[in-house]
Amino acid sequence: MILALGIVLGIRLVPYLPPPAGPFEVGTVLWDIDRPEMGSRPSKGKACPVSVQLWYPAQPGSGDGRAPYDFAGPSLLSGLRWVRTSASLNAALASHGGRYPVLVSLPGWAGLRFENTTLVQDLASRGFVVVALGYDHPACAGMDGSVGDAAAARMDFSSPAAFERTLGVARRKIQGVAEAASGVLDALETLDRADPIGRFRGRLDLDRVGVVGYSLGGAIAMQLCWLDERLKAAVNIDGWLFDAAPGGWIEQPLMIISDDSPAVTSADLSDARPARRYSSVLTEASERRIAAEFARRGGVSVTVVGSGHLDFSDAGYLSRLAMLEGRRPDGAAIRTAADYSAAFFGWVLNGKASPLFSSPPRGVRLQAWDRPEAVESAQRVCADLVAADGPTSIGSGSAVRNVL
């Protein structure tokens, strides 16, 4: 009986991640853009040092075994020590497929490269080379690494002064990480020309590059598009905009994937609790800006019914408390985000239509806006689906005619 109970508790307490849904096996490798053959934290001399991990379609049977979740080597008691990805470490790139489109992946506020492993390995399994960036170095928040500065870099809505400080940190991260990510794209061009190992030489299609960001990474994704025209499309997964793309909007096709939080009310905006009030202010400002710009320029909004913000990250799968209480997510939110991200990038970068936009599944609310003729651009896609009557609300299982 005791042994059986121990086995059951062990199963419940061992973290796991949902497996990828695509047809490819997945490989991964840490990449130092200054030393392409290995490493984990490149470009230390830059204002915002970023770490880079590449995820990609892998040749079956290759590699050095299952890749760890956190390469930093968590302590024995840490749940992260027992997490394993679905990717083979240092595997060969899949031999068929020619050049693969490239996606840049940006995590949330903490900048931890691995916190969206479920999403990035899923996208890699669908035929993308995913460049996962980490920006947890204090310099990316404008800090020097001291204890006091590290505390100041946290998101803090406890007072007006703390809120203003948080906005300043967000601004520095958005600008600094976007600039660093643009530099990574430069390095990818070099890697495609002259990978010393040969794994990626001639295999990266840098004319087909998109970016996906979760939480703060969604704002950074937009800033990267604002900064670098090599990006052809962007997906923002449940991220406040802050001041990304200041004073304007991006020209690239954009999809917003959101959780199912209640709409902000006037009571929320005047709530006596600072955390509630300031988070509502950011939500309302982002939603107002998105609605206005989508009406002017076109865009896609996907809401995952019944989801919360953390459901789009790995957090729920790594919490032992959630496991004990039976609150471990079923993967639906991440799977939906991966499905729609892959479909959106497949449409924009590869020209492949997806039934997800014509027949949304249950649990998805989709809203789309036409891209007006006044802002017609070379990046326009889905012309055969565009309607002329503005935004169209789409319920679960309903049809949609206009996507951009």
pLDDT of residue 76: 57
CATH code for the structural domain at 2-350? 3.40.50.1820
Token pair for residue 216?
């703060």
Write down the pLDDT at residue 34: 64
Who has greater pLDDT, 22 or 327?
22
328 versus 198: the higher-pLDDT residue is: 198
Mean pLDDT across the chain:
83
Q: In this model, does residue 173 exceed pLDDT 80?
A: yes
Domain boundaries, the chain: 2-350
Mean pLDDT of 58-82: 79
SS3 366: strand
- 10-38 pLDDT per residue, tens: 444 567 788 999 999 999 999 987 654 44
- In one-letter notation, the amino acid at residue 237 is I
Name the band, by pLDDT with cuts 50, 70 and 90, for residue 192: very high
pLDDT at residue 393 tops 50: no
Q: How confident is the model at residue 358 (pLDDT cuts 50, 70, 90)?
A: confident
> What's the pLDDT band for 315 if we cut at 50, 70, 90?
confident
Condensed to tens digits (0 to 9), the pLDDT of residues 212-225 reads: 999 999 999 999 99
Helix, strand, coil % in the chain, rounded to nearest 5: 40, 20, 45
Gap between the Cα atoms of 16 and 40, Å rounded: 24
Ramachandran area for residue 187 (φ above 0: left; ψ -120 to 50: alpha; else beta): alpha
- Report the share of the chain in percent with pLDDT over 70: 77
Cβ neighbours, 10 Å, residue 16: 14
Distance CA 239, CA 214 (A): 6
User: Mean pLDDT over residues 234-257, rounded?
Assistant: 96
pTM value is 0.87
User: CA–CA separation, 345 vs 351, rounded Å?
Assistant: 9
- Indicate whether 385 pLDDT > 70: no
Mean pLDDT along residues 192-199: 93
Residue with the larger pLDDT of the pair 357 and 6? 357
Question: How far lies 332's CA from each of 208, 255, 335, 337, in Å?
Answer: 28, 19, 5, 9
Model confidence at 333: pLDDT above 70: yes
> Between 160-194 and 216-227, two packed helices, what is the crossing angle to 10 degrees?
60
**pLDDT at residue number 270:** 96
**pLDDT over 50 (residue 361):** yes
Q: Which of 39-48, 61-70, 83-92, 362-371 has the lowest mean pLDDT?
A: 39-48
DSSP alpha helix (H) spans, 114-262 = 117-125, 147-152, 160-194, 216-227
